[in-house]
Structure 1
Amino acid sequence: MCGIIGIVTKRREGQTAEIAVECLDRLSYRGYDSVGVATLGDNLEVVKMKGKVEDFSHKFDVNSIRGKVILGHTRWATHGPPTDYNAHPHTDCSNSIAVVHNGTIENFRELKAELEMLGHKFKSQTDTEIIPHLIEEFKRRGMDSFSAFKATVNAIEGTYAILAVIRGDNRIYFAKKYNPLVIGIGEDTNYISSDIPSFLPYTKTIVVISDDEVGYLTADSPLNGGVYIEHKGEKIEVNDRIKIINWDAESASKEGYRHFMEKEIMESPRSVKETISGLLADIDEVMKAVKILKDSRRILIVGAGTSYHAGLLFSILLQREGINAIPVIASEYYNYRTSTDDSILAISQSGETLDVRLAIGKFKAEGSKIISLTNVIYSEISRQSDVSLYTSAGPEIGVAATKTFTSQVASLLLLWSAIKDEDFSYLRNAHIVVEDSLSLSGKASAFGEELAKQSNAYFLGRGLSLPLAMEAALKVKEIAYIHSEAYPAGESKHGPIALVTQGFPVIFINGEEDLGLQDNVQEMKARGSKTYSISINKSLNTDREILIKVNDKRLFPLAIAPLIQILAYRSAVIKGTDPDKPRNLAKTVTVR
């Protein structure tokens, strides 16, 4: 879940490091325990530290770092705690090879022991450090740089996106397996990164790298051999891979908002509108997905975190139609066995979530058809799918999913209506429901300010409101660090209510005109709870309430989603936490 960037340029050396640090800042949602860069000019220079990108910029004079080839890394710690010496890049014994890596090397202990027996000295606790030493060892045995790099990749087991530079060679070597890696083609400068937004201000021309591919990058254009890729020894025709994306650089900047999360919540109406428009424009693909789902004995809906909550809501909609739909937490995929009669709907904002990828790999091997819903075109999950559907939320920088969740829900409502053979023209007004909801932001912020004073909270819901309650509890936990739990409201009597004392906050999510929630509210009030509710069309008579008018009740999840996000955001701001970069979390989870 780290962020990596590589830049190779023909331009003046003084600009390269500054650009690399800017790119790292746009990647910091992937991890921010430590940061570092390696520059290659006449010599190899490595500068790194524990801390965030802004700390790095304050500590070091970036403009003084010279080199036309540069690697950068921002870390989410897996092997070894966040320290200066565990920060990437890592080097070999002779300080002539530097490597940055995202992923996990499963056999690093065995390889490290072998390398130590051969005289290699290690300076960190990371699994990554074996990579430069392996390259060094293979070069000692007479291999050229690319052969040594490929031999290293063949020796390691696990997941990886690797970038390496070698002194005396103005190329960036790369390899990918399970973790994202994409090339950006610029004028006199080429980029390679974990994610497109990192280099978006400089180019919209990309080449996506697939699993088990290796290659190298120079400053030349692809037409002149600037990008070389091979798969299991076979050369890939790079020009066939070149794509132009339609994201704009401004969409990846704060545009005057205090945090990316706030900006991205406010972008939800546009994201929903563009998502629905995009799916309707690609209705043939939607209907291919619908046919697969209708013809299935079972539908397994796979997701992690927020995407799982969107999938859970969709599964309830399908179950109410008598369809055998099973929500699956992606990391628990091994508990399920599928067949050719089953279909899989994989939901992932990034399209790179490792647990989702492993799940669809297993289910595909068992003969099931794969449908994906992602926010990133050409992502690994979308490329592994029989049918690929996309939200059009644009880049989301804040770690906590906001506009992407709302766009996922809108997409799934369209898919649900299509499965029912229902006219889904009502979804053309979906963005208006989100806009109307955001007009109540002040009330949701007031809820958040009160919640910020608490240590614990319950979020309760019934039916389709339960996944929204679960999403609200997750958001409050991950960015405000308040212990919050979600339960089916009727289940609260079977244990959870024992913790309710005077003033204990209980937030009810009510999207379906009660379903018995009135009784649950009274139960909590009788125990001294401070009750809150976010309700559609009908009051629950809680102590504090946000009441939203929604004419078409099918759209109620789109009204509730932005308000629970604002509630959590405001709680975080009042507590003084950073909602864009919650501790211990990263945007795209690419480790198991």
Structure 2
Amino acid sequence: MCGIIARVGDGNATETLLSGLENLEYRGYDSAGIAVQNGSGVKVHKCSGDVSDLESTLDSRPSGNVGIGHTRWSTHGPPTDENAHPHTDTAGDVAVVHNGVIDNYDQLRTELQANGHVFESDTDTEVIPHLIDEYRETTGDTEQAVRRAVDTLEGSYAIAAIVDGEERIYAARKGSPLVLGVDDEEWFLASDVPAFLEYTDEVIYLEDGDLVVLEPDSYRLTDLEGNPIDRSVDTVDWDPKDAGKGEYDHYMKKEIHSQPTALSNTIEGRIDDGDVDFADLPPGAFADVESVQLVACGTSYHAAMYGGQLLRAAGIPATALRASEYESVAGPVDENTLVVAVTQSGETADTLEAVRTGSARGGRTLAVTNVVGSTAARETDEAIYIRAGPEVGVAATKTYSSQVVTLALLSQRIAADVPDATPADDRAAMLDALADLPRHVETVLETSRAETLAAETLESEAYVFVGNGFGHSVALEGALKFKEITYEHAEGFASGQLKHGPLALVTEETPLFAVCTGGDDEKTKTNAIEARSRGAPVVAVGPDDHPLCDVADAHLSVPETHPVWAGLLANVQLQLLSYYAAKLLERPIDKPRNLAKSVTVE
């Protein structure tokens, strides 16, 4: 969580910092701030609220060619002006922005206060500028002071700091993402590439233990002992326009409507004469796999459930596990266990910790992620990219669809290698139907009645989503999306579990959305009818010819296709339902309360 932007180069940094913060606001919007340095002091401007609130407080743009900025998702202390970043030392000579959690801040704060340092906030971050100031006094050198400060910290951090009288930015990372943007006339640092994508697509992904010093015409990258480090410069293949809203009112709506393109990119080049082909994984790459553990959080966990079911159907023992619980529930892991980290950002703290645990226990690791150069991609043995392009809306949409397709292809690729596996009998039909998926999503987007249905059900007390097989994970995802952005109570269940307790919640004021895939739907039909007999309005979400459509009160239609992909089409309908309900309720759709896009702290 939290977004960092920093810039050094010719010209005023302020406009770049503000635009970077706007591009990063999906990472946190409790408060925002900037600090610039122009040789006559470090000027800090910050406030609670979002970036537009910050801009409204600036009577004039502060000048300076070196600056840092931050948009906050609160962990220590409420979202107040005082707790907003940047934070400074007592004299205001050192300003710091920080993403992460400092575990030993209580101890450090007590020690620094005993030495005369005065604190103004409740945050853990504020110890960092005071530490730098303390070590500047003892070393007489800012770079050494920064090294000593970060070496003193326990926990996770991405840090950027500026100092009065110095045309430099000092930055370091451990456990939180930080990427360096490279341009001919200026340098950037940010938590995520979209912050500066309009200026450069040349990037260096920093790794844990890296420390970088940026100056107007150069950068130096070292480890914490000062030894030079060489990191490759990568080119990001995202179009800067993909990081904007374009003609849409919200990022979420744009990203829902960009799914046909995202899915085409996900599929491209990965099916060859009826076989699944991942370029960096030669035939036989998975021949020694005996079991698969998929670890993920939130929406990515629902995609992992989808992938796990496909693997089990192919005769490969597979389990989707919540990453936050992995250490205690994973069970045996050995060299024949494939641990798959499913993470959009590649920086999700719980997922990274889970895959590290799996590796430490002897497992082979693989990342399914959207971000080239992310921590997950670097730390696992192999990586497969979902190719969804940048996703800014906090509520994941297109990345879920691309994750599911990538995991579905991976399941068939593994099944082709494992000697005792049993690839699906209709594998050819499944892969043939996949080629039509982008077009089918386009049909859903063009014909959906979700907006009308959202209005008709808006006054409901709660919303229930059910599904069986592939429909179960879609029901869970539909409920998650609905509660994330509408703030209304929504629950997802396996169809057969409805009568084992949840049916007590069903009334005429709780519409039930039944996800139908055209395969293994009998439990969904019978339980939906039972809920309807108790007064619940039933909405069938599936193909037009599904038997449930004849008895349902309403229908969200999806094109006829293979059952594996029907669930994804149903999910698009539920994404639209959530979006339009939230819009009618006037919710902040792209910035739901208490949530951030990339959860980089445990």
**TM exceeding 0.5:** yes
The one-letter code sitting in structure 2 at the alignment partner of 1:146 is E
Aligned equivalents of 1:395 and 1:433: distance in 2? 22
User: What is the aligned counterpart of 2:56 among 35, 42, 58?
Assistant: 58
Aligned equivalents of 1:518 and 1:430: distance in 2? 25
User: What is the aligned counterpart of 1:260 among 251, 265, 268?
Assistant: 251
The change in CA–CA distance for 1:419 and 1:339 in structure 2 (over 3 A counts) is: closer
Give 1:425 shift: 4.8
| Contact 1:20-1:72 within 8 A present in 2 as well | yes
* 1:160-215 Cα deviation digits (max 9, x unpaired): 10001111211111111111100111231110000001101111111110111112
Aligned equivalents of 1:144 and 1:484: distance in 2? 56
Structure 2 residue 240 is matched with structure 1 residue 243: no
Equivalent in the alignment of 1:6: 6
Q: CA RMSD in A?
A: 1.8
Aligned equivalents of 2:432 and 2:215: distance in 1? 49
Aligned equivalents of 2:282 and 2:305: distance in 1? 18
Equivalent in the alignment of 1:365: 360
| Contact 1:375-1:390 within 8 A present in 2 as well | yes
Equivalent in the alignment of 1:377: 372
Equivalent in the alignment of 1:542: 552
**What is the DSSP-based 3-state SS (H/G/I as helix, E as strand, rest coil) of the residue aligned with 1:83?**
coil
Equivalent in the alignment of 1:558: 568
| Contact 1:287-1:418 within 8 A present in 2 as well | no
Give 1:232 shift: 4.6
Give 1:379 shift: 0.5
Give 1:290 shift: 7.8
The change in CA–CA distance for 1:397 and 1:290 in structure 2 (over 3 A counts) is: farther
Structure 2 residue 349 is matched with structure 1 residue 354: yes
Structure 2 residue 267 is matched with structure 1 residue 276: yes
The one-letter code sitting in structure 2 at the alignment partner of 1:419 is I
**What is the DSSP-based 3-state SS (H/G/I as helix, E as strand, rest coil) of the residue aligned with 1:169?**
coil
Structure 2 residue 380 is matched with structure 1 residue 389: no
The one-letter code sitting in structure 2 at the alignment partner of 1:460 is V
Equivalent positions of 1:48-197 (< 5 A) are: 48-61=46-59, 63-197=60-194
**What is the DSSP-based 3-state SS (H/G/I as helix, E as strand, rest coil) of the residue aligned with 1:579?**
coil
* 1:430-469 Cα deviation digits (max 9, x unpaired): 212211222232x122222234322311111111100000
User: What is the aligned counterpart of 2:514 among 499, 508, 514?
Assistant: 508
The change in CA–CA distance for 1:142 and 1:233 in structure 2 (over 3 A counts) is: closer
* 1:361-397 Cα deviation digits (max 9, x unpaired): 1111111111111111111100111111001111011
**What is the DSSP-based 3-state SS (H/G/I as helix, E as strand, rest coil) of the residue aligned with 2:526?**
helix
**What is the DSSP-based 3-state SS (H/G/I as helix, E as strand, rest coil) of the residue aligned with 2:347?**
coil
Moved more, 229-238 or 149-158: 229-238
Equivalent in the alignment of 2:536: 529
The one-letter code sitting in structure 2 at the alignment partner of 1:572 is A
Aligned equivalents of 1:313 and 1:531: distance in 2? 24
Equivalent in the alignment of 1:296: 289
Aligned equivalents of 1:373 and 1:23: distance in 2? 27
The change in CA–CA distance for 1:356 and 1:278 in structure 2 (over 3 A counts) is: farther
The change in CA–CA distance for 1:523 and 1:381 in structure 2 (over 3 A counts) is: same
State TM-score, norm by structure 1: 0.95
Aligned equivalents of 1:34 and 1:306: distance in 2? 26
Equivalent in the alignment of 1:494: 500
Give 1:333 shift: 1.3
**What is the DSSP-based 3-state SS (H/G/I as helix, E as strand, rest coil) of the residue aligned with 1:57?**
helix
| Contact 1:414-1:427 within 8 A present in 2 as well | no
| Contact 1:409-1:557 within 8 A present in 2 as well | no
Structure 2 residue 499 is matched with structure 1 residue 520: no
**What is the DSSP-based 3-state SS (H/G/I as helix, E as strand, rest coil) of the residue aligned with 2:479?**
helix
Aligned equivalents of 1:179 and 1:543: distance in 2? 48
The change in CA–CA distance for 1:251 and 1:46 in structure 2 (over 3 A counts) is: same
Give 1:549 shift: 2.7
Give 1:283 shift: 6.8
The one-letter code sitting in structure 2 at the alignment partner of 1:450 is E
Gaps of 5+ in 2: 417-426
The one-letter code sitting in structure 1 at the alignment partner of 2:339 is I
* 1:203-246 Cα deviation digits (max 9, x unpaired): 111111011111211221xxxx42433355421124xx111111
**What is the DSSP-based 3-state SS (H/G/I as helix, E as strand, rest coil) of the residue aligned with 1:236?**
coil
The one-letter code sitting in structure 1 at the alignment partner of 2:188 is Y
Give 1:295 shift: 2.3
Aligned equivalents of 1:290 and 1:484: distance in 2? 44
The change in CA–CA distance for 1:279 and 1:102 in structure 2 (over 3 A counts) is: farther
Structure 2 residue 583 is matched with structure 1 residue 577: no
* 1:254-307 Cα deviation digits (max 9, x unpaired): 111000100010000000001111545997646738845552222100111000
**What is the DSSP-based 3-state SS (H/G/I as helix, E as strand, rest coil) of the residue aligned with 1:151?**
helix
| Contact 2:461-2:510 within 8 A present in 1 as well | no
The one-letter code sitting in structure 2 at the alignment partner of 1:226 is Y
The one-letter code sitting in structure 1 at the alignment partner of 2:381 is D
Aligned equivalents of 2:313 and 2:200: distance in 1? 46
Equivalent in the alignment of 1:44: 42
Give 1:557 shift: 2.5
Aligned equivalents of 1:294 and 1:479: distance in 2? 43
The change in CA–CA distance for 1:65 and 1:289 in structure 2 (over 3 A counts) is: farther
| Contact 2:251-2:393 within 8 A present in 1 as well | yes
User: What is the aligned counterpart of 2:206 among 196, 206, 209?
Assistant: 209
**What is the DSSP-based 3-state SS (H/G/I as helix, E as strand, rest coil) of the residue aligned with 1:48?**
strand
Give 1:419 shift: 3.2
**What is the DSSP-based 3-state SS (H/G/I as helix, E as strand, rest coil) of the residue aligned with 2:158?**
strand
| Contact 1:313-1:464 within 8 A present in 2 as well | yes
The one-letter code sitting in structure 2 at the alignment partner of 1:430 is L
| Contact 2:512-2:538 within 8 A present in 1 as well | yes
The change in CA–CA distance for 1:377 and 1:550 in structure 2 (over 3 A counts) is: same
Aligned equivalents of 1:64 and 1:402: distance in 2? 36
Equivalent in the alignment of 1:415: 410
| Contact 1:39-1:66 within 8 A present in 2 as well | yes
Give 1:539 shift: 3.6
The change in CA–CA distance for 1:243 and 1:326 in structure 2 (over 3 A counts) is: same
Give 1:575 shift: 0.4
| Contact 1:172-1:217 within 8 A present in 2 as well | yes
The one-letter code sitting in structure 2 at the alignment partner of 1:553 is P
The change in CA–CA distance for 1:498 and 1:286 in structure 2 (over 3 A counts) is: farther
Structure 2 residue 471 is matched with structure 1 residue 465: yes
Aligned equivalents of 1:64 and 1:546: distance in 2? 50
Equivalent in the alignment of 1:432: 439
**What is the DSSP-based 3-state SS (H/G/I as helix, E as strand, rest coil) of the residue aligned with 1:111?**
helix
The change in CA–CA distance for 1:503 and 1:142 in structure 2 (over 3 A counts) is: closer
| Contact 2:444-2:557 within 8 A present in 1 as well | no
| Contact 1:212-1:232 within 8 A present in 2 as well | no
| Contact 1:456-1:484 within 8 A present in 2 as well | yes
The change in CA–CA distance for 1:278 and 1:52 in structure 2 (over 3 A counts) is: farther
| Contact 1:293-1:299 within 8 A present in 2 as well | no
The change in CA–CA distance for 1:213 and 1:284 in structure 2 (over 3 A counts) is: farther
Give 1:487 shift: 0.8
**What is the DSSP-based 3-state SS (H/G/I as helix, E as strand, rest coil) of the residue aligned with 1:396?**
coil
State TM-score, norm by structure 2: 0.93
